[in-house]
Each structure stands twice: as structure tokens, then as C-alpha cells.
Amino acid sequence: MPPTPSKLNLSFARNAYSVFGTRATGTTTEQQREQKTELLEGKNGTRGNGLLHLKNGVDYINPGEEDQMEIYGYKRNHVLTVITWFFIFVTGGLLRLVFHWVPRLMLQATHSKCPLDEADTVLLVEKFQGKHTSYYVKKLRTLAARDVMNIPFDGESLIDNEPWMDNGSMITIKEEKEEIPTLSVHLLGGHFKQVQSIVVFNCKKLTYVWDTERSEFLKLRGLDIGVLNSSLHQMQGLSAQEQYMRRNVYGNNEIVIPVKSIITLLCLEVLNPFYVFQLFSFCLWVADDYYYYAMVILSMSSAGIIMAVLQTRRNQDNLRSSVHAVSSELATVMRDRSTGQTASIPAERLVPGDVLVIPPHGCTMTCDAVLLTGNCILNESMLTGESVPVTKTPIPSSNEIIYDTKEHARHTLYCGTKIIQTRYFGSEKVLAVVIRTGFSTSKGGLPE
């Protein structure tokens, strides 16, 4: 008779059922993330990379990932703000120039540190292998569903001429019954959460949302993280109202590289510490009657500034043209798969959860999408450099498998790739569900 084990493992796994009612695997993204968070909390003494964890109340975003950053909350202190601007005035603006070079000093001089849930500004600290540290100062903004519904139609709204919009100056919804408007966000768990308001900030082209349940900022996700394959097949399409509300959170489906004006670039270059030093040198040599030497410094500095401004502007134009997508391109989406209702919309209005109808003659993908029905032949040379066309097949519907971008690459249509031809049976449409838009797509990550 075998001996009885001295210790019995009576621990039970957490409920692994998603909101769609289907069972998820034990190695979900959420559980992996919690394990990484436990490492950061020091439960094992060290983090995964062998570094000791600092337990001094440090909060993180993207813990355990490559883009992990420390985050600190700050709230404006009016007394410190008045004192700081007094010293800026006394120093003739020199202190403000120092703050321009080091923005975090301006934040620390005018704000007081506070918990993240009370902050109006955050300081992000990114460390590269312990050798280089970058700082980002980001303002928090609150996005409320009711405010979104009352956006004046002045060109700043993300919508125009929707069938459910009034012709007046305010956006209204034609409903039979009064409903509380909500915003749709996906942070983790494989499902969209409906909330009335969110607190967000943007950093490195990504959006982070404050999760009140976990008391931390989480990266705004598409449908590429923690979603079951069967859930992708269950997508029925979005109505015009749902699409508009979701687009206010995710933004337009466009990859726009900002191009600064020549005047802005000139001012930024002149305020560079090197050229400020050159300016003081010029004034010093003029004061000592070394006019020729001073003119040489002035001419060389001016030439350097002009060349730097022109080169920067040229680089911005080249980068913008290399990733620019045709915003006037139209896309056909399913409003309701059960009834077969479709609508043609500009491609820049696509959001995660939209069900695309791929035309038989092909098209250029303006988002990342997962193929649901039919086959597609694609040219992915823009991403991979391979000129040989590849065939994409529908992703299998499974209640046990979670979608993974790398594992299910042969079922994924990537932004920027060219669909040469589609294949389908009978009158069946070739459908794909949008999982990522804008800078979150595979093409959007290239400028980084």
C-alpha cells in the first residue's frame, strides 16, 4: 500500500470562466500578469530579471513587460505654484528655461506627490537596463459618456452625418427609452467593460485607463489579449451608436505622425542648451570687443540651427509619408450579422469589435483583424519583406483556446498588407473582426 503523502495540496484554482460563459485555459493573460505583479510586489524576494524589488510604495504600469514603467501621482499645489512663478520672474525667465529642459522639475516644483487616485498629473519613469532613465510628465483627463454625447458638432467630434445624429449643433441619440450612456473599454479579462466615465492619459502613442477595481492604470487593449477564439466568432457587429462611443475611447483608426511647423522647430532648436550657451558666449565676446570672433560664433550657430531644423522637418515628412494610410478609403462593416445588415464607413472610423466585410477584389488592410469566414491571399511584403503571397484561413472556433497574435498569425490580417484575392463558398461573405486600430496595429508599431 503506498504511503500517504504528508502534505495535501488542497488549493483550488480561480473561476476560469469568461464573461461569455465559456471556460478559459489556466494560463490566461490575466493570471500571467498577476504572477508578474506578485514578483514586483516582492513575494518572491526578487523580480524575474534578478533585481531586488523596491517596496517603498512604488506603482508600476505594464509590470513585468518590456515597457514597464514606474508611475507617481502628483496634484497641483497652488502655494508652490505661486512661489515657483515668483522665482521665474525674479530670474528673468532663466528658471523657466531650466524647467523647459527638465520638465519633471517643473512638475515637482508646482505639484505635491499624492496617491494615483487623487492625482491630476503623473510622472512616468522608464529605466533601460539600469543604465538610462527617461521621464515623462503626462496630464490626466477625464472622459465622461454624457460629455461625449453633448460634444458640439464643430469639427472636433469623431463623427459626422451618422444616421442616429440630429442635424443640429448637438449630437443626440434617437432612442425609444431613456438609457444611461456608457463608454466601452477593454483592459483585461477578454471582455469589454461598460463605464460612465474613465480617467486616461497617453504615453508613447498608447492609452492608459484607471481601473477603479484594481486601483491601477492599465493599458487600453483591443481584442488581441485574453479573448477566446469562440468569442471572436460570436461578434455580431456594432451599431452606429456603439461604434461612435467606442471610437471616443480608442480614437480614430489612423496613424498620423505629427509634423511640427518650421517656427516651432526653430524655437525648440534655439532653446537647446548648446545654443543657449553659444548665445551667452556671443554676448561675452561682444562685451569684450571681440566682434569678429563673436560674428563667427553667431554665423556658425545660425547655420547649425537652420540645418538641424530642415533635417528634422525632412525626417518628419519622410516618416509620415511612409506610414500614411489613405483616410478616404471606405470599409464595409456588419451592423448585425443575424440580419445581414451592412454599412459603408470611412476606414478611419473602425474600432475593435467591428466585423469587416472583405471585398472579393481585395483591398489594403487599414487595421489588424482576425479572419472569421472564407480564405484570403495576401501580400505581406510591407511587414515581412517576402514577396511570395501567403494564404490566410479562418480562425477555428474553440472554447478552450485564447487568441494569440503570434500563434494565430496565419489567421490574422495585418494592417498595411495587401489582400490580393478572397475565396468563399456560395454567397457567404468573407468576414474578419477588427482587433486593433491606429498605433496599436502591427504597422502602427513600426515608427517606434
d(CA 193, CA 211): 10
Residue 250 has pLDDT above 50, yes or no: yes
pLDDT at 179: 67
d(CA 31, CA 28): 5
Q: At 433, is the pLDDT very low, low, confident or very high (cuts 50, 70, 90)?
A: very high
pLDDT digits (tens, 9 = 90+) for 258-278: 888 999 999 999 999 999 999
- Residues 378, 419 contacting (CB under 8 angstroms): yes
CB proximity list for 305: less than 8 A, separation 6 or greater: 266, 269, 270, 275
Average pLDDT over residues 212-223: 90
Overall pTM surpassing 0.85 (yes/no): no
pLDDT at 435: 92
d(CA 392, CA 424): 12
d(CA 325, CA 414): 13
Q: At 443, is the pLDDT very low, low, confident or very high (cuts 50, 70, 90)?
A: confident
- Which contacts qualify for 8-15: CB closer than 8 Å, 24 or more apart? none
Q: At 80, is the pLDDT very low, low, confident or very high (cuts 50, 70, 90)?
A: very high
∠ Cα 334 227 203 (to 5°): 90
What is the chain's mean pLDDT, rounded? 80
Q: Where are the beta strands (DSSP E) in 152-212?
A: 183-185, 193-195, 197-203, 206-211
List the alpha helices (DSSP H) in 169-290: 229-233, 240-250, 262-270, 273-287
pLDDT at 24: 41
Range from 167-176, 188-197, 212-221 carrying the lowest mean pLDDT? 167-176
**β-strand partners of 390:** 378
Q: Which of 98 and 323 is assigned the larger pLDDT?
A: 98
